[in-house]
C-alpha cells in the first residue's frame, strides 16, 4: 500500500471521483490524476522558509499534496507553510480536510509546521466580494498558486459574469476567471501553475484574458499532451489540456520552455524565443505552442506570405442555416421550390458533391420569405468544416462550391460550415480554386495546430491565417487540377516559399 502523501490522496480521489458523474457537467469538476499533479508540482522553484499556498477548486487536495510532497523532498524544506483551499462541493470538503490533516501530520515529522484553511464557498464569488471590499478582508499575497480550475461556460448575463465584470474581468469560462483571480493574488515573484483547457490560447472570446494573464505573469513553461484523452481518462474528457507555469513579474522573459508528453509517456522539451510563441505585433496575443523543429519551420515559412483576407477583398462567415430552427423547411430531396443546402457531408476530395442521398442530412431548403436571409446568391465559394478534432488527419478541411455542379440561383450553407465570400457574393473562380488548394495544404494544417487547441475551426481563426497574394492564389489554381491530390497540393504550395 502506498502511504506517501500522493498515494493516500490518490486513493481518496479515485473513490470520490465515481460519485461526481451527476454534478460534473454542472460544476465542471475533473480531478487531477497523480502523475499530472506530480509534474505540475515539479515546476515550482521556490525555496522559501515561509510559504503561502493557494489551491482554488481544490477537490480532495491532490495538487496541494503534490506540492507539499515536493517541498518535503528539499534538503532544507520550508519551516512554515500556510495553505488556503477553496472547494464548493460538500462531498469533497470532508475528504479535502482529511487530506490536509494527513499532510499536516507528515509535515510535522519533517519539522515543517503546516497551517491550513478550507473555505467551503464559491471562489469567484468570494474573490469578487473581497475585491470590492465586502465581507472578507483581503488575503495576504500567496507565494504559490497551484490549480485545476473547473471548466464550464459563463452565461453573458449571469450573476457570475456581472460579478467578474465589476472587477474588470471579462471572460466566458469559469476556468479562465479562476486563473486571473488567482494570478492577481500572487505576491511579486510568486509562482503559478495551472492545468486547464487549451482553448484560451486563441480566439476572440479569450483575447482580454490572454492580455491580462500575460501582464500578470512571466510565462516560463508551457506543457502539452500528445493525446487529448489520456490526461483525464477516467472522466472521458476530450478537451485538449495545457499546463502553464509563470511567475508574477513585470515583463516577459525572452525565452520559454515548451514540453510535450507523448502517448508512451516520454516528455520532450525545447526552449523557444517568446516572440515565436506570441508575435510582438499580434494585438490578439494568440499563443502558438511550437513543440518541434517542424513547427518552427512552418511559422517561418508562413511569415513570408504577405496576403490577408481583407487585403484579398475576401471575408469568411459561418453558415447561416441552423437546421433545427428551420426544420419544417428542410427537404431530403430537391424540388421546384427549394435551394441546395450544403453540409460537411457534401465535401468530397476538395469539392462539394451534391446531392448526397447516403446521409440523413437534408439536401435542400425551401426558398421562401422565411428562409430568404439564410441563402446566398449563386457563385463560387470556398467552404470549410467548422468542427474537427486534434486526432483527425486534417483540422482544416476545405471544399470548392462550383455553381456549375449544383443547380439553382441561391444556396444555403449549414451552420457547421464556414464560407469564404466577397461581400456576400461568390468569388472569382481562379481565386476560389487557389484558395481551396492553399487551405488543404499540409503546411496550413500544421500551422493551424500550433495555435488551435479546441475542436472548432472558427471564422475568426481562418481570418488570422497568413494568405498568399491574389497572384499566388491564381497561380496555385493552374498548378493543381485534382483538388483531392494531396501530393500535388503540397508540391504547389511549397513553391510559394
Distance from C-alpha of 422 to C-alpha of 470, rounded to nearest angstrom = 13
Confidence tier at 133 by pLDDT (50, 70, 90): low
Q: Average of pLDDT values for 410-417? A: 97
The DSSP 8-state label assigned to residue 446 in this structure reads H
Confidence tier at 420 by pLDDT (50, 70, 90): very high
Give the tens place of pLDDT for each residue, 2-30.
Answer: 445 666 666 665 556 555 555 544 444 66
Among 462, 469, 491, 474, which Cα is nearest to 428's? Answer: 474
Q: Average of pLDDT values for 208-224? A: 95
Q: Average of pLDDT values for 405-419? A: 96
Count of alpha carbons within 13 angstroms of residue 422, beta-carbon side: 14
389 has a pLDDT exceeding 70: no
Give the number of other CB atoms < 10 A from CB of residue 93.
17
Distance from C-alpha of 137 to C-alpha of 129, rounded to nearest angstrom = 10
Buried-state track 230-255, b at ≥16 Cβ within 10 A, e below 16: bbbeeeebebbbbbbbbbbeeebeee
Give the tens place of pLDDT for each residue, 184-194.
Answer: 999 999 999 99
Cell output for 325: 430552427
Q: Are strands 410-413 and 338-342 parallel, antiparallel or unpaired?
A: parallel
Distance from C-alpha of 406 to C-alpha of 364, rounded to nearest angstrom = 11
Separation of CA 193 from chain center: 17
Give the number of other CB atoms < 10 A from CB of residue 175.
25
Cell output for 53: 499556498
1 has a pLDDT exceeding 50: no
Cell output for 123: 471562489
Residues in the chain: 497
Give the number of other CB atoms < 10 A from CB of residue 4.
13
Axis crossing angle, helix 429-439 with helix 486-494, rounded to the nearest 10? 100
Distance from C-alpha of 98 to C-alpha of 368, rounded to nearest angstrom = 65
Cell output for 388: 474537427
Domains along the chain? Answer: 5-291 (3.40.50.150), 309-494 (3.90.220.20)
56 has a pLDDT exceeding 70: yes
Cβ neighbours of residue 113 under 8 Å, at least 6 residues apart? 79, 80, 81, 107
Q: Give the phi and the psi of residue 284 in degrees, each rounded to 5.
A: -80, -15
Q: Give the phi and the psi of residue 201 in degrees, each rounded to 5.
A: -70, -20
Q: Average of pLDDT values for 382-389? A: 87
Sign of CA dihedral 62, 65, 71, 75: negative
Separation of CA 20 from chain center: 24
Q: Average of pLDDT values for 270-293? A: 83
pLDDT at res. 5: 64
pLDDT at res. 24: 45
Among 128, 207, 135, which Cα is nearest to 165's? Answer: 128
Q: What is the distance between the terminal CA atoms of the chain, rounded to a whole angstrom?
A: 59
232 has a pLDDT exceeding 90: no
Buried-state track 45-62, b at ≥16 Cβ within 10 A, e below 16: ebeeeebbbbbbbbbbbb
Q: Are 37 and 65 in contact (CB under 8 A)?
A: yes
236 has a pLDDT exceeding 60: no
- Average pLDDT taken over every residue of the chain: 89
488 has a pLDDT exceeding 80: yes
Amino acid at each position: 500500500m502506498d502511504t506517501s502523501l500522493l498515494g493516500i490522496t490518490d486513493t481518496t480521489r479515485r473513490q470520490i471521483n465515481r460519485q461526481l458523474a451527476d454534478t460534473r457537467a454542472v460544476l465542471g469538476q475533473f480531478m487531477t490524476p497523480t502523475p499530472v499533479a506530480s509534474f505540475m508540482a515539479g515546476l515550482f522553484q521556490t525555496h522559501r522558509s515561509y510559504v503561502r499556498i493557494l489551491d482554488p477548486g481544490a477537490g480532495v487536495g491532490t495538487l496541494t499534496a503534490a506540492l507539499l510532497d515536493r517541498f518535503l523532498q528539499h534538503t532544507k524544506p520550508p519551516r512554515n507553510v500556510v495553505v488556503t483551499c477553496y472547494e464548493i462541493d460538500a462531498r469533497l470538503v470532508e475528504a479535502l480536510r482529511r487530506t490536509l490533516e494527513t499532510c499536516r501530520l507528515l509535515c510535522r515529522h519533517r519539522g515543517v509546521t503546516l497551517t491550513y484553511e478550507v473555505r467551503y464557498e464559491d471562489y469567484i464569488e468570494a474573490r469578487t466580494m473581497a475585491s470590492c471590499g465586502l465581507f472578507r478582508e483581503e488575503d495576504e499575497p500567496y507565494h504559490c498558486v497551484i490549480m485545476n480550475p473547473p471548466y464550464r461556460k459563463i452565461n453573458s448575463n449571469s450573476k457570475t459574469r456581472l460579478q467578474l465584470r465589476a472587477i474588470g474581468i471579462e471572460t466566458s469560462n469559469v476556468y479562465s476567471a479562476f486563473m486571473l483571480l488567482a494570478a492577481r493574488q500572487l505576491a511579486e515573484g510568486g509562482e503559478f501553475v495551472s492545468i486547464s483547457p487549451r482553448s484560451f490560447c486563441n480566439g476572440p472570446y479569450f483575447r482580454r484574458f490572454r492580455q491580462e494573464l500575460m501582464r500578470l505573469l512571466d510565462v516560463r513553461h508551457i506543457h502539452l499532451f500528445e493525446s487529448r484523452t489520456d490526461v483525464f481518462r477516467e472522466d472521458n474528457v476530450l478537451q485538449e489540456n495545457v499546463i502553464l507555469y509563470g511567475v508574477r513579474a513585470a515583463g516577459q522573459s525572452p525565452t520559454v520552455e515548451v514540453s510535450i508528453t507523448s502517448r508512451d509517456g516520454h516528455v520532450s522539451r525545447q526552449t523557444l524565443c517568446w516572440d515565436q510563441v506570441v508575435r510582438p505585433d499580434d494585438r490578439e496575443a494568440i499563443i502558438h505552442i511550437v513543440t518541434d523543429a517542424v513547427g518552427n519551420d512552418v511559422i517561418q515559412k508562413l511569415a513570408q506570405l504577405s496576403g490577408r483576407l481583407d487585403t484579398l477583398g475576401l471575408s469568411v462567415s459561418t453558415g447561416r442555416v441552423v437546421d433545427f430552427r428551420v426544420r419544417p423547411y428542410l427537404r431530403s430531396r430537391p424540388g421546384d421550390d427549394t435551394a441546395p443546402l450544403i453540409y460537411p457531408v457534401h465535401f468530397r476530395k476538395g469539392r462539394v458533391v451534391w446531392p448526397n442521398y447516403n446521409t440523413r442530412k437534408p439536401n435542400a431548403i425551401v426558398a421562401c420569405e422565411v428562409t430568404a436571409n439564410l441563402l446566398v446568391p449563386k457563385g463560387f465559394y470556398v467552404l470549410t468544416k467548422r468542427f474537427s478534432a486534434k486526432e483527425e488527419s486534417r483540422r482544416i478541411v476545405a471544399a470548392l462550391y462550383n455553381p456549375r455542379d449544383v443547380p439553382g440561383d441561391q444556396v444555403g450553407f449549414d451552420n457547421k460550415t464556414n464560407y469564404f465570400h466577397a461581400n456576400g457574393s461568390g468569388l472569382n473562380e481562379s481565386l476560389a480554386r487557389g484558395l481551396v488548394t492553399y487551405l488543404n495544404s499540409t503546411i496550413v494544417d500544421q500551422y493551424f495546430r500550433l495555435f488551435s487547441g479546441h475542436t472548432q475551426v472558427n471564422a475568426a481563426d481562418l481570418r488570422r491565417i497568413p494568405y498568399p497574394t491574389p497572384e499566388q492564389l491564381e497561380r496555385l489554381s493552374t498548378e493543381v487540377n485534382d483538388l483531392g491530390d494531396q501530393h500535388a497540393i503540397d508540391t504547389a504550395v511549397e513553391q510559394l516559399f
